[in-house]
A and B are shown apart, each in its own frame.
Chain A
């Protein structure tokens, strides 16, 4: 599903920062993976490349068998919309849209009609336990609720891959567990590939595979 071969990434700048120094990684369909590592070690950078939000300098990245390199904007958009669901630490909900509309948004870009996408959004809000809060704006929701809205939004397109960058970083331990349960469940029930970047060992322990990151390379990969 995800295939990294010798990926290099340098952030340009006055002092260029060589963040990824030849990452080799293969993740199969249906895996539940966590990525750990010190702050600044390049975890987010790697996840962003996986999600085609960022590009890389050297190496080869294959996503579902297709080489991802210098794609044009349209193709990138299609890949993101069809294959990938993203969950961010800071939720990234659109502040002036209510919960239902936020969840429905990816379907808008798939050309799904308003009525249908709202119905489906309600279904997914129900799955994350927020059906009653459908009309609330993000700022009227708690952090955990916001992240659940974001999860519903990531799930609604049935992405093959779910990428979560510290999804519980802004949450307390109780809501953290709720969010983790949800991510584990989609992996178990729907067989979606889930990649979670985290700092917390407890979260990593709930995944099937733990990848440790150090100095721009993978130094431990345990199942």
Chain B
């Protein structure tokens, strides 16, 4: 039953006691807003980690070659070496049926070395790499324009390339890069795509936003490294769990290239499965932290409410004393105060929720257009938001209920005397 008179009285009480009402409302509003942001960030971070790594089949091993650091088997230290096609065949021979798929990269002219890349009017020193067409399945990147390297590019060793977005902007400012020619030392190639690196956590080859990517076969042929690659990732079949085999593959490579077994720096070997679980541990940790901070704010909101209650408890008690002297039923007093608290905290809470959802949405949509964000689709699970709201509303109700109950439990004259 809607008692208009009653709700009018409730509303008037809220409206007329501006400071008290606003401070209570602000406590609830702020607590919820911050909580939503924290939870949103946590969720976004976790889903970011998942997104950046979901493309990788986790049963994957990776090898990145570097110059040796220990002299061994009559060979000097500082020797550059790479993984050859023969190495891959040797692995397949020793571990038959182990490799399901492979992603290969060769940096040219040599790993880490930049070279001059020119358009008709601009130039830049950048890293150039050859990659297989399946490269994007491992390294999180987005094609902004055109396409990535295709199978046909590889088969025909076409002179095509994909530019990082920053490189494209330098070489072709204000223009579309796709379809244009870029000139490298001794040859030119046609731009077929522009790409952007999307994960700050992981990239396999050189920074995709800054570099130039050729088809692997093209790079191998043009730079006379026709059977070489300095980065190799192998997706393994199920019978070959990566955690068990990534060392064995590595040992084989070391043997074949006469690298000291204790020369850990000559090759970076990685078991993606272990890597991923580490990342998700970090993700969980950060998530937990954000939750804690969020809950802290929620608690601060509650303390704020309680504080207002403390400050106004005497005034309230006195007022309740007056109402009692005028013949108010205790139940009527309690009902009014509870409804007052409910309306106030609920309204402020819903405002906080809406503002929180909206703020998180704004941030989220801004992030979506930004490169390499750690966060993916930050959002607040509805149930968490509602739970937080419930906690604050309960706090608000309690903050109304405790002083009211107290003011009703003492004698009317004592309530009146409270100053």
Q: Which residues of A contact B (CB under 8 A)?
A: 48, 51-55, 73-74, 76-82, 84, 86, 88, 92-94, 96-97, 101, 105-106, 108-110, 113-114, 153, 157
On whether the beta carbons of A53 and B327 are closer than 8 Å, the reply is no
On whether the beta carbons of A77 and B329 are closer than 8 Å, the reply is yes
CA distance A84 to B16 in the complex (A): 28
Quick one: closest B residue to A76, CB to CB? B412
Whether A53 touches B326, Cβ cut-off 8 Å, given contacts A109-B332, A114-B5, A114-B8, is no
Contact of B9 among A52, A106, A108, A110 (CB under 8 A): A108
- Sample of 9 A–B contacts (CB below 8 Å): A53-B413, A73-B329, A77-B324, A94-B323, A101-B12, A109-B327, A109-B328, A109-B329, A153-B326
On whether the beta carbons of B413 and A81 are closer than 8 Å, the reply is no
CB distance from B16 to the nearest CB of A (A): 4
On whether the beta carbons of A96 and B16 are closer than 8 Å, the reply is yes
User: How many A-B Cβ pairs are below 8 Å?
Assistant: 75
Q: Which chain B residues in 257-306 approach chain A with CB under 8 Å?
A: none
On whether the beta carbons of B16 and A97 are closer than 8 Å, the reply is yes
Give the residues in chain B near A110, CB-CB below 8 Å: 327
On whether the beta carbons of A78 and B412 are closer than 8 Å, the reply is no
Give 1 or 0 for each of B325-340: 1 = CB within 8 Å of chain A CB: 1111111100000000
Contact of B416 among A52, A53, A114 (CB under 8 A): A53
Q: Which residues of B contact A (CB under 8 A)?
A: 4-5, 8-9, 12-13, 16-17, 318-319, 321-332, 408, 411-413, 416
On whether the beta carbons of B329 and A74 are closer than 8 Å, the reply is yes
CA distance A96 to B5 in the complex (A): 18
On whether the beta carbons of A53 and B325 are closer than 8 Å, the reply is yes
Whether A86 touches B325, Cβ cut-off 8 Å, given contacts A48-B413, A97-B16, is yes
Quick one: closest B residue to A91, CB to CB? B322
Give the residues in chain B near A54, CB-CB below 8 Å: 411-413
CA distance A161 to B330 in the complex (A): 22
CA distance A92 to B415 in the complex (A): 12
Quick one: closest A residue to B315, CB to CB? A95
CA distance A5 to B5 in the complex (A): 42
On whether the beta carbons of A51 and B325 are closer than 8 Å, the reply is yes
Chain B interface mostly: helix
Quick one: closest A residue to B332, CB to CB? A109
Quick one: closest A residue to B408, CB to CB? A73
CB distance from A39 to the nearest CB of B (A): 16
Whether A53 touches B411, Cβ cut-off 8 Å, given contacts A80-B324, A109-B323, A109-B332, is yes
Whether A73 touches B326, Cβ cut-off 8 Å, given contacts A54-B411, A92-B416, A114-B5, is no
Give the residues in chain A near B319, CB-CB below 8 Å: 94
CA distance A117 to B264 in the complex (A): 90
On whether the beta carbons of A105 and B412 are closer than 8 Å, the reply is no
Give the residues in chain A near B411, CB-CB below 8 Å: 53-55
CA distance A76 to B408 in the complex (A): 12
On whether the beta carbons of B413 and A105 are closer than 8 Å, the reply is no
On whether the beta carbons of B328 and A77 are closer than 8 Å, the reply is yes
CA distance A78 to B8 in the complex (A): 23
- 20 additional A-B pairs beyond A81-B326, A96-B17, A105-B323, beta carbons within 8 Å, are A48-B413, A53-B411, A53-B412, A73-B329, A73-B408, A74-B330, A77-B329, A80-B412, A82-B327, A86-B325, A86-B326, A92-B318, A92-B325, A93-B322, A97-B12, A106-B326, A108-B9, A114-B4, A114-B5, A153-B326
Give the residues in chain A near B4, CB-CB below 8 Å: 114
CB distance from B195 to the nearest CB of A (A): 64
Contact of B326 among A55, A80, A113 (CB under 8 A): A80
CA distance A209 to B411 in the complex (A): 30
CB distance from B369 to the nearest CB of A (A): 50
CA distance A78 to B332 in the complex (A): 12
On whether the beta carbons of B326 and A109 are closer than 8 Å, the reply is yes
Whether A80 touches B325, Cβ cut-off 8 Å, given contacts A73-B330, A74-B330, A113-B5, is yes
CA distance A13 to B408 in the complex (A): 21
CB distance from A147 to the nearest CB of B (A): 15
CA distance A105 to B329 in the complex (A): 13
CB distance from A54 to the nearest CB of B (A): 4
Give the residues in chain B near A101, CB-CB below 8 Å: 12
CA distance A215 to B331 in the complex (A): 39
**Which of A55, A93, A105 has its CB near the most chain B CB atoms (within 10 A)?**
A105
Give the residues in chain B near A82, CB-CB below 8 Å: 327
CB distance from B339 to the nearest CB of A (A): 14
Contact of A92 among B8, B16, B322 (CB under 8 A): B322
**Which of B5, B17, B328, B413 has its CB near the most chain A CB atoms (within 10 A)?**
B413
Give the residues in chain B near A55, CB-CB below 8 Å: 411
CB distance from B190 to the nearest CB of A (A): 78
Give the residues in chain B near A92, CB-CB below 8 Å: 318, 321-322, 325, 416
CA distance A39 to B326 in the complex (A): 26
**Which of A73, A101, A113, A157 has its CB near the most chain B CB atoms (within 10 A)?**
A73
